[in-house]
Every structure is written in structure tokens, then in C-alpha cells.
Amino acid sequence: MPLRNAKSAEKRIELLESLLNAGIWTYDLQTREISWSAGLYRLLGLDPNAIAPDVQLYESLLHPDDRLSHEEIVARARGGTLAVRRFRIIRPDGRMIWLESRTETQYDREGRLGALHGVVQEVTEHENLRVDYSRIASSNSSMRKITGADFWRADPTGRLLDLSNWMRFTGESADQLKDYDTLSAVHPEDRDRFRQAWESAIRLRDRFELSVRVRRYDGVYQRFENKIVPVLDPDGMILEWHGMSWMTAEPRPSRQERIMLQSAHLRAARAMLNMTGQQLASISGVSFSTIRRAELDTTGVKAESVDRVREAFERQGVYFTLTPAGDVAMTFAAAGSSVAEPT
């Protein structure tokens, strides 16, 4: 049973146009006549009671750079490139808006292109945001060339809003990046300090600097220096954080300052990882025969080869540090356990 007082189809279309800020048009390619709905009149800033639809009037409202001739319209419609199009309209009141048109073609029985039907919707806000984002990206690119630093944003809790650079550098997925409890790409020795620095800055709503090591997509850790400032609203509440980061070269110790690993350290580290000698050779780039000699006596092997084996272990989560007593401490980050052996 039909509902009482149901709106007519025309009224329902007008309601949808109003809600979606949209309009409907039809262009007869044979007679070159055009028709507009009430919604399109509203978008164009015209009075439907005073002005009749007119192709020349419509073309006069189009931004000069966005106008298409009748022949171009027909060619694009036949080529399928008129289906979705964005263009600018300059209304009689001087306001410029962006519209997006979605077009369907209509053919007659002889297969000739006869008419075009379209729906347009205002996309000014979206287009302005796109232009603003492009301008910001260009500005950041220029600043990166000048300073050598990357610029990024984070929300009030310190979670990154600009994910692409981080994902590209670390190889992490968006889901992995959102796991702030793990911070898997941050060096295990830097994670607590990383959290504490952010917690303190958020509490104090103040700028801070942070040096942290981040694991690259290939497993190598790279140190980043960061300068971070809060963006505050008039009431002093944090809107977001802006940061500037740049990579720095890790100071490589001289041969005299290097931690001198003994064969026992290499054997223990490999055992911790349940790794064969061939596997260690593959990930370190050191020959299997050199690794066998090093596990018997490191003094008979080049220091550079031992360093490469050590770096391979660190990429797998085994780290070597010196204790205050001068002993070598070996830490397995995945297990959270440490083993110290005398040098």
C-alpha cells in the first residue's frame, strides 16, 4: 500500500541534491540544448525563475582553462575520457568553486552518440585540501634540499600522522607502525628512552630533542637526530607535533676502541641464534672458512671481518657492550637475557 503524502520523484531528487550538494544535467548533442536541475542552478548561483538553461551561458561560467568546445566534448565522450572530470566554475557573485562531473553517454538506435547525462557535485573543499597538501609537500621537499632533514607530523599523543617516509625506510606495514607498545623498528636499547622523552614532552607540552636508532628495511640501524615542537591552540592544548629529523653517521670506533671479541663470544652468539656457520657466512658476507678460523681464534682473523660478523649478529638481535669492569656483555634482545663473558 503506498505511503500517504509520499514525495514525488522530482521532490526526492531535489532533496538528494540538497543533501549531497549536487546537480543533474543533460546535453543533447544533436540540438545542443542543455537542461539543468534545481540543484545545478543552485551550484551555478543562478535563479531558475529568471534564467533558462543555455550552453553559452554555461560556458561563460567555466574557468577559461577548463572550457571544452562541442567537438572536444564529443571526442572525449566517444573516447571514454569524459566519464569523470573536475573543473572550475566562476559564479555570478565572483565565487569560484570546483565541481566533479560524472557522465553517461546515450546512443540512438543507429549507434550514433545522441546525448550526455551527468551528475555534478561540489568538491571545492576536497580540491583545496589537495592543493594545500601539494603545496606543503613541495615546501617540505624544498626544506629537505636546504637542510637535509625530513619534516613530519604526529598527533597529540605522539603517533605519526605522516607514515610514508617511515614505512619506506623501515619496510614496516601500517599495522606494524601502529604497534606503539612494541616499537619494533626502534633499537632495543633506545625504546625506553624514546617513550620517556615523548611522555615528558606531552606532559610538559614543550619542545624536545631526541637521538634514536631506527632499523632500516635491510636490518641495519641508522641513527636519527630529531627536533620536535608542539603546536598549541589558544588554550595551550596540543593540536599536533611537528618534527624535523635527519640521519647522522654512527661514530665508528677506531681499532683501539673497538670491543675485541673472542672466539667464545662468536660461538655463544651463534648458539643463541641456533644458526649454522654457513648461515652466518651468508648474512655477514664473511667466508665460511674465515668464520671457522675466527671461532677458533679471532686474533688470526682481520678485525674488519670480525666487525662484519658482529654487525650480522646485531641485526639478528644479539648485542655486545662493555661492562664498567671492562668485560664484554652479550645481550639477546628477543629473549631479554644477557650473558657476560670476560675479555
Instruction: Assess if residue 43 is contained within a domain.
Output: yes
Instruction: Based on the fold, state whether residues 217 and 169 are members of the same structural domain.
Output: yes
Instruction: Based on the fold, state whether residues 15 and 117 are members of the same structural domain.
Output: yes
Provide the grid cell at 339: 650473558
The CATH code of the domain that includes 268 is: 1.10.260.40
Helix pair 263-272, 288-296: axis angle to 10 deg: 120
Q: Is 105 left (phi over 0), alpha (psi -120 to 50) or beta?
A: beta
Q: Across the strands, what pairs with 33? A: 28
What is the rounded average pLDDT of the residues 94-98? Answer: 93
Q: What is the DSSP letter of 146?
A: H
The whole domain housing 307 covers 263-341
Instruction: Assess if residue 153 is contained within a domain.
Output: yes
Contact at 8 Å (CB) between 214 and 160? no
Instruction: Based on the fold, state whether residues 160 and 226 are members of the same structural domain.
Output: yes
Total residues found in the chain within this entry? 343
Cβ-based neighbours of 89, under 8 Å, separated by 6 or more: 43, 44, 61, 62, 63, 96, 97, 98, 99
Cβ-based neighbours of 314, under 8 Å, separated by 6 or more: 221, 320
Instruction: Assess if residue 3 is contained within a domain.
Output: no
Instruction: Based on the fold, state whether residues 104 and 185 are members of the same structural domain.
Output: no
Instruction: Based on the fold, state whether residues 101 and 68 are members of the same structural domain.
Output: yes
Q: How many CA atoms, within 13 angstroms, populate the side-chain half-sphere of residue 290? A: 16
Instruction: Assess if residue 327 is contained within a domain.
Output: yes
Amino acid 13: pLDDT: 82
Distance from C-alpha of 194 to C-alpha of 174, rounded to nearest angstrom: 20
Instruction: Assess if residue 256 is contained within a domain.
Output: no
What is the rounded average pLDDT of the residues 120-145? Answer: 80
Model pTM score: 0.47
Distance from C-alpha of 142 to C-alpha of 14, rounded to nearest angstrom: 47
Domain count, the chain: 3
Contact at 8 Å (CB) between 238 and 232? yes
pLDDT tens-digit series, residues 61-77: 999 999 988 888 888 88
Instruction: Assess if residue 325 is contained within a domain.
Output: yes
Instruction: Based on the fold, state whether residues 59 and 106 are members of the same structural domain.
Output: yes
Instruction: Based on the fold, state whether residues 219 and 283 are members of the same structural domain.
Output: no
Top pLDDT among 281 and 258 is at: 281
pLDDT band at 130 (very low <50, low <70, confident <90, very high): confident
Top pLDDT among 142 and 225 is at: 225
Residue finishing a domain among 91, 126, 161: 126
Give the closest residue to 193 by CA, choosing from 209, 169, 177, 174. 209
Q: Is 246 left (phi over 0), alpha (psi -120 to 50) or beta?
A: beta
Instruction: Based on the fold, state whether residues 101 and 60 are members of the same structural domain.
Output: yes
Instruction: Based on the fold, state whether residues 28 and 78 are members of the same structural domain.
Output: yes
Instruction: Based on the fold, state whether residues 231 and 295 are members of the same structural domain.
Output: no
Distance from C-alpha of 239 to C-alpha of 157, rounded to nearest angstrom: 10
Q: Looking at 95-136, which runs of residues are DSSP E strands?
A: 96-107, 113-122
What sections of the chain are H helices per DSSP?
9-20, 38-44, 55-61, 70-79, 124-147, 164-170, 174-177, 191-204, 263-272, 277-284, 288-296, 303-315
Cβ-based neighbours of 238, under 8 Å, separated by 6 or more: 156, 202, 205, 230, 231, 232
Distance from C-alpha of 224 to C-alpha of 234, rounded to nearest angstrom: 32
pLDDT tens-digit series, residues 78-88: 888 888 999 99
Instruction: Assess if residue 121 is contained within a domain.
Output: yes
Q: 97 by DSSP, 3-state: which?
A: strand
Instruction: Assess if residue 133 is contained within a domain.
Output: no
Q: Residue 64 — φ and ψ, nearest 5°?
A: -50, -35
Cell 616499537, residue?
183
Amino acid 95: pLDDT: 93
Q: What is the mean pLDDT of the chain?
A: 83
The CATH code of the domain that includes 229 is: 3.30.450.20
Instruction: Based on the fold, state whether residues 93 and 173 are members of the same structural domain.
Output: no
Instruction: Based on the fold, state whether residues 318 and 242 are members of the same structural domain.
Output: no
